[in-house]
Structure formats: structure tokens, C-alpha cells
Structure 1
Amino acid sequence: MSTVTESAVRTALEAVEDPELNRPITDLGMVKSVEVDGDAVAVEIYLTIAGCPMKSTLTDRTRAAAEGVEGVRKVTVTTDVMSDEQRRELRLKVRGATSEPVIPFAQPDSTTRVFAVASGKGGVGKSSVTVNLATSLASRGLNVGIVDADIYGHSVPRLMGSSAHPSQVDDMIIPPQSFGVKLISIGHFLDGNSPVIWRGPMLHRAIQQFLSDVFWGDLDVLLLDLPPGTGDVAISVAQLVPDAELLIVTTPQAAAAEVAERAGSIAQQTRQRIGGVIENMSWLELPDGTKMDVFGSGGGQIVADHLSEITGSPVPLMGRIPLDPDLRVGGDVGNPIVVSQPGSPAATALAGIADRLVTRKQSLAGRPLNLGVTRR
């Protein structure tokens, strides 16, 4: 006789995680029923919404877990859709009963490293640097997210090959994922290539919603791709996430370096820390192995040195990324070069910058150490 029990199957399902919420489906109330008939098992699970993009992933993981139970020979997995009340309960389990939106990255106990990637002018490859750094960090097993804060010039979905739309559970937004990175962009909510025509307050509200209404989970690193310059969004980010560190992207060109200094100098007024400077398009490697300085040389180091003087704190040059046509191609097709060609000079430089980001020590200043004191 078969010894398969419903309890054994449910125990096995505890290992199945929702790929968007990163929590066991048993904890989230997503297991509707489990029926055992001899060595055959039928499992019905709830999807958060109709047309859930993760339906096949969830059913495959559920089937694999049930098939792993000793004695099981046949598994059938079916799905149903949560009611509004069930979605509300799910949101409460994940986010808690907070009445007002809270930006988790602005809380004193947050352990997420937040980097705001900025530039003085457009066309320096800031967004390409952002997505490649994020993808490189995720490949190390870190939980990484990207906020496309460039509302007018949003490009992160295309660069990451993401055409999925965010899901919504009650008033909680579930971000799409690409290459193991969670991302959100105004581009996810627009039809086609529609322009965004907003004034400052609307930009502020959009960034606030991206940070508070999106369920990011426990991130190790969050990257914000800022628009060029020192406008409304840069100020909003400084207000909403005051501990975010600035990463300034420039090219070797003297004119670009001069403008990049302005973007970094905003840290004096916003009291943000400058994590470092990244020089992009540093040189072009020719077929004979020689290097051509297409945009001059030394701009990144000049920016780092001047910002060190202005802020009174050392601002390092994090790395120099060569001009590589394949980096551009990767962006056009939505396949970052650190994934498609990890051994290329550009990918190697980007991986080196990612290494510097994750190996920097985190200060304990201002953080509770939770150390008890025993008196005798």
C-alpha cells in the first residue's frame, strides 16, 4: 500500500518559493488544496493575479517538490486565482499593516547599500554602466534592484531585455526581474514609446512610489539610474534616501569632466556621500592591440581629485571602462555585456568596479549594535 500522506506533501511544498516574493508558497497561503489518492497527488495553488507571468515557474516548482516525496508516482498541478480579500491578506503578510507608504531604504535599520548613479550630461553611458553593474552584482548571488529614476529618458527595461509588466497585489507592486535583478521603470507603465510630460511634483511622487509601493524584499544593493544633471529627481532622491551614495559617471573628455564635477558637487548641499567616479569610454582597443584615446584621457581622475578637494573626503576613481561596440550591441538587444561576453575588456572593467562596491566596508556609525550589558 502507498504511504504517501497529505502532511508529507505539504512539508515538501514548504521548499517552494514564490519567485517574485521570495517566500514559501505555504507561508503566503498559496496552497489551495492537496489531495492524495494512493501514489497520485493533486495540488492546486493560488496565483496572485490572472495571467500571472510566473505561472509556469510556480507550477513546475510545485510539481518537482511533490514528485520528490517518497512513494509519489504521479503529480497533477492546477491553479486558481486569489480573491481580492486573499490578495489583501497576502499583502499584509508581506508588508505588514502599515497605513502609510514607507521607504525601507531610508529606515535606520536598513542594510541595503543604495547607489545613485549620476552624470553631469547625457550620452556618457550612465544607464549602460548601471545595468551592467547590477547584473554583475546579481551574478555574485546578491539580491539587487534597479530604480529607473530617469523618468523622461527611461531606458533600463530595454537595456535589461525586460518587456514584462509589474504585477499588483492589492496596493503593492511586484517588480519584474531580468538576469536576477528586480527593476522598475516608468517605461513599464507606458504604451509603446509614449513620452512623459510631467512637472517636478509628479517626478517626485513617481520616485517616491517606486521606492515605497514596490515590494523589493531584502535587497543587498539598490541602484538608482538618475537623469543627467542636478535637477528635480536628484534633489528628490537626496530627500527620500539621504544615505544613498553617489556614483559619478564621466568620460575622459575635459568638457564632460567639468560638467560631471557639478553633478558631484551637489553632494555638498544634499550632504550625500560620493562613493566614487567611473570613467566610461576611456579608450578604444584597435585590432593591432594599441589603444586610441577617442575622447582624450584623464577626465575621470581629474573629477575624482577635484571632488576630493571640494568635499574634503577622498573620492576614488572606481574604474575605467573601454569603449566597446559590443557593450552598445548588448544594450540594443537587452543582453548586458557582463553576461554575454564576461571575458571582454569592458565586462572585466565593470566586474572590477562591482568588486569594489561589494568589498567596501560598511560603517557602523549611528547603527544600534544590540549589545546587552550585564551588571554584577
Structure 2
Amino acid sequence: MCDMLTVEEHSFYSRQIAVPQIGETGQLALKRASVLVAGAGGLGCPILLYLAAAGVGRIGIADADLVSLSNLHRQVIYGVADCRETKVRTAAAAMRARNPFVEVVEHAVAIDDENVSDMISGYDIIVDGTDNFATKFLLNDACWFLSKPLVYGSIHRFEGQVAVFNHAGADATERGPNYRDLFPSPPPAALAPDCSTAGVLGVLPGIVGCLQANEVIKLITGIGEPLSGTLLLVDALSGSTKSMRLKKNPNNPLSGTSPSIRNVRSVTTSSNVPDMPIRSISANTLIEWHAQGRPLVLVDVREPDERKRVSLGGVHWPLSESDIDVPEIDATRIAVMYCQSGARSKRAAEKLIARGYAREHLVSLDGGVTAFLDAGYRPDALDDPMGGGQ
């Protein structure tokens, strides 16, 4: 690839080159860069279009799917006439038509444990535009072993997430957090619905995908502060964003203090999660355990307004924030999850198990706060003078 911009390229990128932080130096960096976008769906479409328009020199597309009618409300590269065509070929044609100065590489295959390492090894940056946990873990692990930065994106109904994983930074002395610091292992299938099950607002992948493309441009040009060690949360209903700091998890099976993952292997949403129900205990049993001095920690998974009205105490971990935060729970204690009626507490327990907590140390309060009060117990019946004990 030529190390100079042609006259035509200068004209094509002139408004971007005019940005002082980018200039010709930044534009040349984009031209020399290579990026693999895994997934040409809702997230992948805006990522591919904007990276091509920005002038990333070589862009790979990996996707094995065909265009279908149900894709079109959110996958804006495609039209009705493209249905039953391969996404990779159709997306590549649109990118080449938009910018003839970039190279587009087509990988019309599903990413798996046999091809992922070879595929990503030829690119500088990997972008996760996939919609399933198995591929997200596969990409994360392969990027870890090959020291590739991974630009992560995820969407669910009205909410989205963006982060940069495995980024070494300017000094390249230490890599930032990776996906398994957020999710050590895949959640149960029931907690991992795709777009066809959960649904998604059509504009949301456009918003999140553009944010991912922005992170790629920042990484290539060295401008700004990449979202390494930060999870950006997007709420399309409120029009708000929130940043959460991500810390390295010492129990990370890939990069923690005692890693158990030694090579890239495929995972499923059921791996490491036995198909067993969460054990429930009654209010009477909980009171009995407390009287016996059993090591317990209460975990309230209700929303803040519910907790203000009445609380049994303990750690507060709202289920609505469970994807971005992990409660500090003493692993030697039995965690008693509770909500208002007993349904949300079981879902929260499954999420803790997916993050590495032992199933045998988790129970759900049957009937929740309502059943506890109906049994005649006061809300402060489990007060611990030491604090944090319930």
C-alpha cells in the first residue's frame, strides 16, 4: 500500500484531514491500518460504512448469513432486493461503491474455534459486531492470546454497551481489562436472548455501531481516550449515557491470577452452568439460619425506590444494573438473594453463577419481602450489628 495520499484521496478525505487532531498524519495512519469486523448485522452495518468512509485501508468482513426481510429495519446497508444474498458480498459492494480507495476482504464464514485465530491474526484491530455470547467469548479469548485490541458492542431492546478490551495503551506495558473481566463465563441460555427473541429498537445498533467505529478511529490515530477499562452504557429511551469503570477480575479464567483457559476453544451459553434450579428457602428457614449463626449475606436485587419503602438489609444489587456491576460478596458466606416476590432473585442468582459464583452458595428467598412480612417478621429481624453480615 502506498505511504502517500493521492490527489483523489486528499479530496475525498479533505474535511476529515482539516480536523487538526487528525490531519494528513492521522489520515495516513488510517490508510495503513487493517480492521476485521466480526458480524455484518445491526452493529456491523454502521461500523463497516463509517470505517470505509473514514479511509481505513483494509477492512475485513466476517459473516456467514444471508440477508432476510427481518434484518432490514436495523441493518441499513441492505435493501429488499438484497434478500437471500450473502451479507458479506452485499456489504462489501456497498463499501466499495462508497469509497473505492479502501480494500475490502470478504470472509463469508462463521467464526469458530478452528478459524478465529488465523482470521484475526492478519488485522490490527478486531471489532465485535456479533449478537451471541459464544462468538463474543471466542473473539475475546483469541484477541487475548494474539494481543489484539477488541472493540466491543452489545445491544438489547433500548440499551447498548461499548468498550475497548485488551488494549495495551501507548506504552504497551500492560493490557487493559477484557470481556471475561465483565463476564467470566457465558450466562445460561435463558438469560442470553438474541434480537429475534428480545427485540431491538431499529436505530439503536446505528448509535452503538457508530460509537464502536469512533473507538476504532481513536485507536488508529491515537487521538482522545479510548474506552479501555470503561464500559459506556447507552439508554435510547432517556437519551442518556453513563460510563462505568471496569476493573480486572482476579478470578478471570483467561487472565486472572490462576488462569484455567490455555487456548482458544468454543463456548456455549450453557457451559459451566449446570441445568439445576436455584435453591429456595422460606422466611422461616432464613430466620432459623440466622438464629443458628450461619454465615449469611443478604443481597437485595430490587430497585432503589423499592428498597426505600422497606428493606431487609444487606447488599444492594439492583437487577437492572446486574450486567455492569458485581456485588462484593464474601465467598465463604451463603448469599441469600431476595426481591419483592421471589422471581427476580432467581434471575439475579443465575447471573452471579454466570460470573463465577458457586451455585451451592446461593439461595433465593421464596416469596421475597412480601412472604417474609406475611410470615409475621419485622424488616429488621435480620439486623447484624457488625454491618454487611446480612
Report the TM-score, using the length of structure 2 for normalisation: 0.27
Report the TM-score, using the length of structure 1 for normalisation: 0.27
Higher relative contact order (CA 8 A, sep 6+): 1
